[in-house]
């Protein structure tokens, strides 16, 4: 897979990446930033982990990890933010792309450009923003998203499962269908 230890940027455009472990791995500390920009690329992992984010190497837990998944990119696997996060955070943007998997520990999730998230489970704290041109969240079973919902664009729910929001929705003015 693609690995950032400390600070760095990885950009993947087109093609595919099949990893035996996490497809993307970030270990940050001391305020370092790890950024992944994935465009038009197919990502998958035999371990089932798309992104493993960990900032536990530093007592402050203050690394910043960003994943931008865009422009027709397709990914299968879970996004897992592990370890302590005192000052650090993880942001994920799915823009005109598709993600099949769970999200755990992500502070900011943006779904835009007609993005599709096939959600197997969610443990997010922070904000889910529905950006320009909306998004679809597909669920086969019950998924509880415990985050604040924000944005102005439409959010569609697909699949036979139940999608529930436990966080606030006062900043969401779009249509949920």
- What is the per-residue pLDDT across 105-159, written as a single tens digit (0 to 9) for each? 898 999 999 999 999 988 866 889 999 999 999 999 999 888 889 999 999 999 9
- What is the per-residue pLDDT across 84-107, written as a single tens digit (0 to 9) for each? 666 778 999 999 999 999 999 898
Q: Which residues contact 134 (CB under 8 A, 6 or more apart)?
A: 111, 112, 114, 153, 154, 155, 156, 174
Residue 59 has pLDDT above 80, yes or no: no
């Amino acid at each position: 897979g693609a690995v950032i230890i400390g600070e760095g940027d990885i950009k993947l455009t087109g093609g595919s990446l099949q990893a035996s472990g996490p497809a993307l791995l970030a270990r940050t500390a001391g305020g370092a930033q790890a950024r992944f920009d994935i465009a038009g690329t197919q990502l998958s992992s035999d371990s089932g982990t798309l992104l493993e984010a960990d900032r536990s190497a530093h007592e402050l837990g203050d690394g910043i990890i960003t994943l931008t998944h865009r422009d027709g990119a397709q990914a299968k696997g879970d996004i897992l933010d592990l370890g302590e996060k005192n000052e650090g955070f993880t942001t994920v943007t799915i823009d005109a792309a598709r993600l099949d998997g769970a999200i755990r520990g992500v502070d900011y999730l943006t779904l835009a450009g007609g993005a599709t998230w096939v959600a197997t489970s969610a443990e997010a704290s922070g904000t889910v923003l529905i950006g320009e041109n909306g998004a679809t969240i597909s669920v086969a079973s019950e998924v509880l998203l415990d985050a604040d919902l924000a944005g102005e664009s439409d959010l569609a729910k697909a699949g036979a499962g139940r999608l529930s929001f436990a966080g606030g929705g006062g900043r969401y003015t779009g249509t949920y269908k």
